[in-house]
Amino acid sequence: MSRRGTASPGGGGSRTRAAASVLLAPFFILFAAATVVPIGYAIYLSLFTEHASGLGFGGSETVFTGLSNYSGALGDPSYRAGYLVIAEYCLLYIPIMLGLSLVVALLLDSALTRAKRFFQLALFLPHAVPGIIAALVWTYLYTPGISPVLGALGSAGADLDLLGHPLPAVVNMAVWEWTGYNVVIFYAALQAIPREVLEAGVIDGAGSWRTAVAIKIPLIRASVGMVALFTVIGALQLFTEPMILHGSAPSVANAWTPNMYAYTAAFSGNNYGLAAASSVLLALVAAILSYVVTRAGRKRSGRALEDAA
């Protein structure tokens, strides 16, 4: 019998691996160029410091200083205070954003809601606005003397200084920008819940509130954990909103957040080694928090499966 056209043993597997390598190559190339190389260069910069030349001509020389930039960043009270600001921001922002996103997603998923597509689009539109534009608009609304909102409240007898305590102002910006985005994620997860499970709950006598709390939210726990993880990582990178508010709110210092500290060290102090070291430390904190949040989510999922069993 003719064996023409019969694949040799292992030939299909090798072709599959070759095809997978070709398809994955662009991702790995972009990942290396956009992530691995910058991280490596930041670590390299963090080990050096620019020192003024001793010849008196205003020149400088790059000197290897090892971990001195890391100890300098950790020993700076303003850098450490930036993490306290981030912690306060997370304690205020994450519960509000997650709770509001869940409530709105559950309302959209309910049978009583009409015009769901319209409300999804309306809620998502603030996220489509670039962060710097949104920060400029909110800064205008927060600034006394030019804000029409504060002007109307002032004429009614309410004298508000929203920038006197900038943290709630920054939280409000982030909630306005990111709630709609997370509503879309939660709504998609709710739509993936098997309808038979919900119908079984109704047959057992579960009302709308009990169905939402006892059935829907536990079944989208993975999505809630994912959003919480991304929110924590995003909180550590807080930069745009406080940087825009810096010109209008005196309480927002140059090093109000770790990212602002790195920016000020690099572009105001020309200390790129210190800026790189503070950025690497921030990346390590983000990695540790990601690991902690992921482990906590897995443990909760495991307990939920045990309880269901």
Distance between CA atoms of 213 and 89, rounded to whole angstroms? 27
For position 52, what pLDDT does the model report? 62
Q: What is the pLDDT of residue 98?
A: 92
Q: What pLDDT, on the 0 to 100 scale, is given for residue 75? A: 92
> If pLDDT is split at 50, 70 and 90, which confidence band does 107 have?
confident
- Name the nearest CA neighbour of 248 among 145, 148, 134, 132: 145
**Greatest Cα-to-Cα distance within the chain, rounded to the nearest angstrom:** 98
Model-level pTM? 0.79
Q: Residue 2's pLDDT is what?
A: 47
* Average pLDDT of the chain, as a whole number: 81
DSSP summary character for residue 257: S
- The per-residue pLDDT for 101 is 92
Count of CB atoms situated within 10 Å of the CB of 187? 23
CB-based contact 222:301 (threshold 8 Å):
yes
Beta strand segments in the chain, E: 48-52, 60-64
pLDDT digits (tens, 9 = 90+) for 74-97: 999 999 999 999 999 999 999 999
Domains present along the chain, CATH in parentheses: 77-308 (1.10.3720.10)
Residues 172-226: tens digit of each pLDDT = 889 998 998 999 999 889 888 888 887 787 777 777 787 878 888 888 888 888 8
Adjacent-strand bridge partners of 63: 49
What's the whole-number mean pLDDT along residues 250-260?
Answer: 82
Structure tokens at 267: 């572009």
Q: Give 52's strand partners.
A: 60
Residue identified by tokens 């002032």 is 154
- Closest by Cα among 143, 132, 243 to 177: 132
Query: What span, in angstroms and rounded, lies between the C-alpha atoms of 167 and 183?
Result: 23
